[in-house]
Amino acid sequence: MSDPWLNPFKDVIDRRIAKCLLKEKLLVGNGTLCDFAMGHYYYGLHSDKDSWVFREWAPNAKNIFVIGVFTDWKEKEEFMMTRINPMGDWEVSLPRETLKHGDLYKLSIHWEGGSGERIPSYANRVVQDEKTKIFNAQVWHLKKTINGAMNILLLLLLHR
């Protein structure tokens, strides 16, 4: 230790460092902390021009369904996720018209011995119902609105 005042706490500090390194190894596996921190680019709900793709990490799940206002909060076969690797990554692709900005959703997860509803770990937006106080993820996709606002701003700037 470079600071002699810390010498009495060396064992405690070493244990904490070891615990942090172990946690890092559990989080990143063979990757890096940077890869882990960028998980939101892979997991969660993402759109492209033709479809939506939703990914979740749930290593102990047996089945996962995306449920929401678009399924009347029921499990439906077309919204069932598929396990895509042994590490516990799940995925489902949905047609573009299936979801729209503002739709509420969550996951219905089945595991050995039970099941329950969960908010996705990489939800971009979560809202709480004022009456029931229940939290749900919300589709947040404003691209057209933002592009429209940018076009108006550009138009205003050009006509100054």
pLDDT for 15-56, tens place per residue?
999 999 998 888 788 888 888 888 899 999 999 889 999 999
Sequence-distant contacts of 43-48: CB under 8 A, at least 24 apart: 43/120, 43/121, 43/122, 44/120, 44/121, 44/122, 44/123, 44/124, 45/99, 45/120, 45/123, 45/124, 45/137, 45/139, 47/96, 47/141
Q: Which residue has the tokens 């405690």?
A: 12
User: Which stretch of 13-27, 97-111, 112-126, 139-153 has the lowest confidence by average pLDDT?
Assistant: 139-153
β-bridge partners, 51: 95
Tell me the pTM: 0.75
